[in-house]
Amino acid sequence: MRRPRLGLPRLRSPWLLAPLVLAVDFAAKRLVLANVDRLARPVEVLGDVARFAYVRNPGAAMGLPLGGRGFLIGVSLLAAAVLAALYRRTDPRQRLRRCALAAIMGGALGNLVDRAFYGGLVVDFIDLGIGAHRFYTFNVADMGVTLGGAALFLSLWREDRPPRAAPGDPASAGEHPGTIAGADPASGSSDPGHRDD
């Protein structure tokens, strides 16, 4: 009788990461909007290093002013379509790449919802830094895009690496397959001192 394998359940379809990131982002933002008064001033989570702070971002990532609301909605829709096409074209065995594309997709859709249905202002609330040196306030959708992008980079980097030769592989020892060590490939003899008179 086989024993059941213990460990974390394997995600059956990497595509499920997209609705998961979208759902968590949506729920977190609605929770923030329901507690705007309490978040009028930053709320410490891990001292001054990690805080919750309510911010409405009218721009792109990190507050960059890249066009208006309509432009950003169009870019988000185009990005979602491209990511969906890339996911479908990716080999199912490339699970890391598929997970990365799905996470980016979920993040893009999360911020798209804010831009399309909440006045074009994205809800940001995660504030990291030390003292006056703070990173740009972000949200769960931004985390999906960032972590998904890092995983996608890792996937592409791993595929570009040359395959390792297996131990005992003649190619790893710099020998030609089918030849014996010390043999003269031209004569086919394994005796270096052999002569044909």
Q: 20-74, pLDDT tens digit by residue?
A: 999 999 999 999 999 999 988 889 999 889 999 999 887 666 555 566 777 888 8
Cβ contacts of 28 within 8 Å, gap of 6 or more: 125, 139, 140
Task: Give pLDDT, residue 73.
Answer: 87
Rounded Cα gap, residues 134 and 181, in angstroms: 63
pLDDT at 133 over 70: yes
- DSSP 8-state symbol, 63: G
Between 194 and 35, name the one with better pLDDT. Answer: 35
Confidence class for position 7, pLDDT limits 50, 70, 90: very low
Task: Give pLDDT, residue 179.
Answer: 46
Strand partners, 128: 50
pLDDT at 84 over 60: yes
CA 15 to chain centre: 13
List pLDDT tens digits, range 140-154. Answer: 999 999 999 999 999
Rounded Cα gap, residues 109 and 137, in angstroms: 18
pLDDT at 9 over 70: no
Sign for the pseudo-dihedral over CA of 173, 174, 178, 182: negative
Cβ contacts of 191 within 8 Å, gap of 6 or more: none
Rounded Cα gap, residues 136 and 125, in angstroms: 10
pLDDT at 126 over 50: yes
The answer to whether residue 127 is catalytic is no
Rounded Cα gap, residues 175 and 192, in angstroms: 16
The answer to whether residue 160 is catalytic is no
Confidence class for position 100, pLDDT limits 50, 70, 90: very high
Question: What integer best gives the mean pLDDT of the chain?
Answer: 80
| Element (DSSP H or E) covering residue 194 | none
Task: Give pLDDT, residue 13.
Answer: 87
User: Is 97:148 a contact under the CB 8 Å cutoff?
Assistant: no
The whole-number average pLDDT for the span 176-185 is: 49
Task: Give pLDDT, residue 60.
Answer: 65
Between 79 and 132, name the one with better pLDDT. Answer: 79
Phi, psi at residue 125, to the nearest 5°? -155, -5
User: Is 93:100 a contact under the CB 8 Å cutoff?
Assistant: no
Check 48, 142, 160, 184 and give the catalytic one: 142
- Give the amino acid at 124: D
Task: Name the nearest CA neighbour of 17 among 28, 25, 29.
Answer: 25
Strand partners, 122: 57
Task: Classify 107 as helix, strand or coil.
Answer: helix
For the CA atoms of 141, 145, 147, 153, what is the dihedral angle to 10 degrees? 170
Check 48, 124, 127, 196 and give the catalytic one: 124
pLDDT at 8 over 90: no
Show the tokens assigned to 153.
């980079």
